[in-house]
Amino acid sequence: MAENPTGPLADVLVLDMTRALAGPHAAMMLGDMGARVVKIESPAGDDTRSWGPPFVGPEDDRQSTYFLSANRNKESMVLDLKQAADQDVLARLVERADVLMENFRVGVLDRLGFSVARLHELNPRLVVLSITGFGHDGPEARRAGYDQIAQGEGGLMSITGTAGPTKVGVPIADLIAGMNGAYGVVTALHERERTGRGRVVRTSLLAGMVGVHAFQGTKWTVAGEVPGLAGDHHPSIAPYGMFATGSAPIQIACGSEGLWRRLCEAVGWDATQEGLATNPERVAHRDHLVARMEDLFATEPAEHWLQLLETAGVPAGKVRTIDDVYAWEQVHSQGLLIEVDHPTLGEVRLPGSPLRFDDNSHSGGRAEHVAPPTLDQHGPAIRRWLDD
């Protein structure tokens, strides 16, 4: 066990038997909060260790930046669960653990000899998180879960893009499933304090996609309207979206009539003009409104309009590239970029946890972050700990 653990979950031991992104992201979220996370890997390692380019590091020990994105604050241990000896090691870990996370296809863990019944026989207090592609039951439960497919099947792509359905630029189905999973685990741990028993938490990529439909979902379930591509503008609010200027595009969010009046005052327009006086009218005439605004914005560069809108109190912003985001002072001030010492790469910078607590200035709940592990980096030490 790590010495002097810190963070709200410092007394929690998590067995991360997941691979790829949804499960590893969930486990990393708990690790950020101080949990001890033991990543159980097959002899071949997590799939994402081979996902690239880019790869970094020495030629004989290249590291995937994809793997680095989802595995900070973890230990790595290799177990071949086809071998009886390693099955015994896992059973001993389960007896000590608080949480076990898995994202195998339905039935795989049972075939390996670790059904939910056996897990709770070994440890009645164990919280089990199971992440699947389409749910653990139902007619399509046995389908493999991949982010790209889930984004399409879950409807998100049908409302994203301009010319046609477009996937989000990150594996959002995986990430949301991971967030939901971590949320479910913490909830079950809290319940365990009252009941003394663990339970199974289930979520899926499909559930995550449906769960973020928000107003686009109720547009259909309540109003009976099928949402279309949202493009770069909000389907229910105007002006609210991206606008071309004389240099770079900017984003504007007029989420109230008061903000609309401020915008009009700043640019010398009549806020009560016919056809644009109310939000429903502006939504109905969005194309006209956007064209008129972009005709005006074309006369000056983006910085001119951003300064004008800031002075007027109208929410606006740049469309930043990823490198620009990580160079931004505001991102640094929020602890969203951390430095860790990797065993083969040396000091590397990683995106940090999105959470901060009132007793620290950095991201996450632990005092110090740890680099993503190399394969089986901690296996020998964990085996010694089990033998103590």
Which domains are present in the chain? 13-212+357-387 (3.40.50.10540)
**pLDDT reported for residue 4:** 67
**pLDDT reported for residue 358:** 84
Whole-number Cα distances in Å, 308 to 152, 262, 264, 289, 293: 40, 11, 12, 19, 14
Q: What's the CA gap between 120 and 118, in Å, rounded?
A: 5
* pLDDT tens-digit readout, 164-182: 999 999 999 999 999 999 9
pLDDT at 50 over 90: yes
**pLDDT reported for residue 106:** 87
**pLDDT reported for residue 250:** 97
**pLDDT reported for residue 1:** 41
Q: What's the CA gap between 250 and 296, in Å, rounded?
A: 13
Q: What is the mean pLDDT of residues 206-234?
A: 96
- Residue tagged active-site, from 120, 136, 234, 304: 234
Q: What is the mean pLDDT of residues 199-203?
A: 98
pLDDT at 234 over 50: yes
Q: What is the mean pLDDT of residues 356-381?
A: 88
Asked if 288 is an active-site residue, the reply is no
Interacting residues of 258 by C-beta distance below 8 A, sequence separation 6+: none
pTM of the model: 0.93
Q: How far is CA 368 from the centre of its chain?
A: 21
Q: What is the mean pLDDT of residues 10-19?
A: 97
Percent of the chain beyond pLDDT 90?
A: 92
Residues 165/152, Cβ–Cβ less than 8 Å:
yes
Q: What is the mean pLDDT of the chain?
A: 95
pLDDT band at 184 (very low <50, low <70, confident <90, very high): very high
Residues 37/31, Cβ–Cβ less than 8 Å:
yes
Q: What is the mean pLDDT of residues 343-356?
A: 94
Residues 272/264, Cβ–Cβ less than 8 Å:
no
Q: What is the mean pLDDT of residues 293-311?
A: 97
250 Ramachandran zone, left/alpha/beta (phi>0; psi -120 to 50)? beta
Q: What is the mean pLDDT of residues 315-332?
A: 96
DSSP letters along 37-96, please? EEEEE-TT--GGGG--S-EES-TTS-EEHHHHTT-SS-EEEE--TTSHHHHHHHHHHHHH
Q: What is the mean pLDDT of residues 10-29?
A: 97
Q: What is the mean pLDDT of residues 307-327?
A: 96
